[in-house]
Copies of this chain bind each other. A is one copy, B any other.
Amino acid sequence: MSAVLFALPGNETMAAKLAAELGAEIGRLELRRFPDEELHLRFATDVAGRSAIFVCTLDRPDGKFLPLAFAAATARELGAAEVGLVAPYLAYMRQDRHFEAGDAETAPIFAACLSRTADWLVTVDPHLHRLKNLSLIYSIPTRAQHAAAPISRWIADNVPDAVLIGPDAESAQWVGAVAKTAGKPFVVLTKTRRGDRDVSVTVPEVERWRAATPVLVDDIISTGRTMAETLGHLAREKMKPAVCIGVHAVFAPGAYDDLRRYEPARIVTTDTIAHQTNAIDVAGLLAEGVRALWRAT
C-alpha cells in the first residue's frame, strides 16, 4: 500500500518536507471557496487503496476543522485504505476539566471530533498538563513526538556558551532534560518572598553565569508573557541577552513584537507552526511518528 500526503492550506512546506522524509508522494487537493464562502474540495490525485495522510497544523483551530473533516471523509469515500492526520501543533489541549461550574471541557470534545475524522494522529509535544497522555481523550492511535532532541541539538550547535534557565521548579524536568542532552549547565531561578507583594527572583550563583548565554525553553509561546518576565529577571541580574526557544510559535497578535522589546539575543522556534522565527526542523520527528502508525510500507 502506498502513501500520499495532502497539505491543507498553509501546510505545503511541512507536507513537502515530510513527503521527502517518508519517500511518499505529495497529492493534489484543490480547495476553493464559493462566493457564499462555502468550501469546494476536489482530489486531483487518486487515493483508492492508499494511505491518505493529511498535514494540518491546528493553531487558530475553529476554521480548520470542517475543511479537514470534508477532506478526510471524501478520501474515505474515494476508497482510501486509511486516513492519517499529521497535526504538528494540536489545539484545544488546555480545557481538560471543568474549572468552574458550567465551563466547557473543550479538550475531550475536540478530541472526539478529530477521532471521528482520522484513523490515527501524529503531533509534536501537545500541551499535556493535567492529562498524562493523549489516549485519555483520543480514541484513535496517537503519537506525541518530543521536540527535546532537535532542540538540544540546535542548542549544542548554535549556542556554545549556553546555560539553560528554568523559570520555576515546574520547568525543571523538561528544561533539565534538554540541558542534559545538549550537554549544557542548567539553572532554576529562585523566588524569595519578602512580603505579600515583594517577591524577588534571582539567578543562583549568578557570578558563575555572567559570561554565559542564557537559553529559555518553553512549549508554547502564545502571549510570550512568561518568557518576557524571565527576560526581565535576567536583565536585572545583568546576564547576557538570552536566546528564547519555543516549540510552538503560536504568537498571539502583538506578542512577537512585545517579546522583542525585551531584547533577547534571538527568538527561535520549531516549524510546527510557520513563523519567521522557525529554525528547528521537526519533519524528521513527525516522519518517525507516521512510520509507527501507518499501514503503508
Contact = CB atoms under 8 A, between A and B. Distances in A.
Interface string A100-117: 101111100110110010
B113 A222 contact: no
Main SS at interface, chain A: mixed
Contacts of A67: 62
Given A65-B66, A113-B66, A39 B106 contact: yes
B62 A106 contact: no
Interface in A2-59: 34-44, 59
A60 to B, nearest CB: 5
Interface stretch (A69-77, A168-176, A261-269): A69-77
Interface stretch (A89-97, A141-149, A156-164, A233-241): A89-97
A223 interface: yes
Contacts of A102: 42-44, 78
Contacts of A112: 73
A113 B61 CA distance: 16
A44 B104 CA distance: 11
A293 B95 CA distance: 33
A287 to B, nearest CB: 26
A125 to B, nearest CB: 15
Contact of A94 (B38, B43, B95): B38
A100 B42 contact: yes
A252 interface: yes
B66 A62 contact: yes
B104 A35 contact: no
Contact of A71 (B73, B104, B110): B104
11 contacts: A34-B94, A35-B222, A38-B61, A38-B94, A38-B95, A40-B104, A40-B106, A41-B106, A42-B100, A66-B110, A73-B109
Leading 3 A-B pairs by shortest Cβ distance? A35-B252, A43-B102, A41-B104
